[in-house]
Every structure is written in C-alpha cells, then in structure tokens.
Amino acid sequence: MATNISTAMLAQLQQRHTITALVENHPGVLARVSGLFARRGYNIESLAVSVTENPDISRMTIVVGGDHLVLEQITKQLHKLIEVIKVVDYTEQPAVDRELALIKVGAEPRHRNEIMQIVEIFRGRIIDMSDKTFIIEVTGGSEKLDKVAELLGAYGIKELVRTGIIAMARGPRTA
C-alpha cells in the first residue's frame, strides 16, 4: 500500500499549503470559514482553532490542497469575510508546524517492549495503560505521525485522533 500512495501523495504534498487566519473570537466565525471552504469547493485537510494571546482573537490553522492559484483565491475569499483579520501562508516562509496525535493501540504483554521502543524512538509518551492497550501521545510533523501510526498498525490501532497542524513563523516575526 505504501508504494501505491507514494506518487499520488508526493503530488499532493507539493500542493499542500498551511495557512493561518487570525479571526475575531465570535461565535459563528468557524461556520463562516468552513462554509466558505465547502461552498467554493476548497478541500480542507485539517483545521485547528483556538484562542490566541489576545482573548478577542482566535487563530485558525488550515491545511488545504490546491495549486498557488487556488491558494490565492482561498486567501482572498478568506479576507472577504468581515471577521477575518489576517491570513498568512506558511508555505513559502520559514515556519515550524506541529501536530499531536493520541493513539490507542493494542498492547499485549508480549508486544509491550517493541511498542515502547517505537514510542521512544519517536519521542512519544505512553500516557495510559490497561491490560490490553496503551494510549500513546506523539507530537511532530504530519509525516512523523503518519509513520508512527503506520508502525503501530502492526499491533492493532483501536482509536486514533489528531489535532490537525498548528504553525508559527520562525524568528521574531508574528502572524
């Protein structure tokens, strides 16, 4: 399966953009943004929202697919929403991005050591344990999380949840 994905995924990756929108922290703003994406047929891969250092402002980090023309339209359409204050595209500037995953994986006693090794290599943490399962917490870039999930797949993933990417510009620059 991995080989099947590679070419298609590579093309996808080239067309994947991480953008951040600073928005007024009002009820309904999320609906406006997600409605816009649905209406105009833009494809959201992930969306993370939370309040910022200023409680009046929320920050949305959106990962979208599409070429630069599509991205330009998305940016402009986002700007048209009255409650959107600023839109930044992190694709072409130095930025860090992170995502967090919680993975509930089958952990029979005979597999526990192997799983713990994987967790250690990827600097994850085991944050819950039962007689049959672990919950593993991993943070990192999306590809790292993909890889961890793939490796843990061998032991049976019971449940998986990811936060979606959040991003920030490197250096003193702010959004």
Partner 1 sequence: MKMSGAKILLECLRREGVQHVFGYPGGAVLPIYDALYDCTEIEHVLVRHEQGAAHMADGYARATGKVGVCLSTSGPGATNMVTGIATAYMDSIPMVAITGQVRTSVIGKDAFQEVDATGVTLPVTKHNFLVKRTADLPRVIAEAFYIARTGRPGPVVIDLPLDVSIDQIEWDPESYTQNVDIPSYRPNTRGHELQIKKAAQAIAEAQRPVLYVGGGCVAAGAQMELTELSERTNILTTTTLLGKGSIDETHRNSIGMLGMHGTAYANHAVNNCDLLIAVGARFDDRVTGKVDRFAPNAKIIHIDIDPAEIGKVVQPDIPIVGDVKLVLQDLLKHVKPRPWSSWNDQIMEWKRLFPLLYPDDGKLYAEYIIEKIGEATDWKAIMTTDVGQHQMWAAQYYKTRRTRQFITSGGLGTMGYGMPAAIGVQKAFPDETVVCLSGDGSFQMCTQELMTASVYGLPIIVAIINNRSLGMVRQWQHMFYSQRYSHTNLEASPDYVRLAEAYGAVGMRVAQPGEVVSVLERALAVRDRPTVIDCVIPTEENVYPFIPSGQTVEQMMIRKDLEQLKAKVHTDSEVWSFADEERVLEQYVETVEKNQ
User: Residue 92 corresponds to which amino acid?
Assistant: E
Query: DSSP labels for 48-62?
Result: EEEE-SSTTEEEEEE
* Cα–Cα distance for residue pair 123/89, rounded to 1 Å: 29
Is the distance from CB of 75 to CB of 86 less than 8 angstroms? no
Footprint of partner 1 on 132-171 (CB under 8 A): none
Minimum CB separation from partner 1 for residue 71, in Å? 11
Residues 6 or more apart whose Cβ sits within 8 Å of residue 21: 33, 59, 60, 62, 78, 84, 85, 86, 87, 88
Should residue 77 be labelled a site residue for partner 1 when binding is judged by CB under 8 A? yes
**Binding of partner 1 at residue 25 (CB under 8 A)?**
no
Which of 35, 143, 150, 159: binder of partner 1 (CB under 8 A)? Answer: 35
Q: Can you tell me which of 9, 25, 32, 146 binds partner 1, judged by CB under 8 A? A: 32
Instruction: Name the segment binding partner 1 (CB under 8 A); options: 84-92, 98-106, 111-119, 126-134.
Output: 84-92
Q: Which of 85, 126, 168, 169 binds partner 1 (CB under 8 A)?
A: 85
- Applying CB under 8 A, among 6, 50, 52, 73 the residue interacting with partner 1 is 73
By CB under 8 A, residue 54 contacts partner 1 = no
Cβ–Cβ under 8 Å, residues 167 and 64: no
Contact 152, 138 (CB under 8 A): no
Q: Is the dihedral of CA 155, 158, 164, 168 positive or negative?
A: negative
| CB atoms near residue 168 (< 10 Å) | 16
Q: Minimum CB separation from partner 1 for residue 82, in Å? A: 4
Total residues at interface with partner 1 (CB under 8 A): 20
Smallest gap, in angstroms, from Cβ of residue 85 to partner 1? 4
Interface stretch with partner 1, choices 47-55, 70-78, 101-109, 159-167 (CB under 8 A): 70-78
Interface with partner 1 (CB under 8 A): 23-24, 28, 31-32, 35, 39, 69, 72-73, 76-77, 79-86
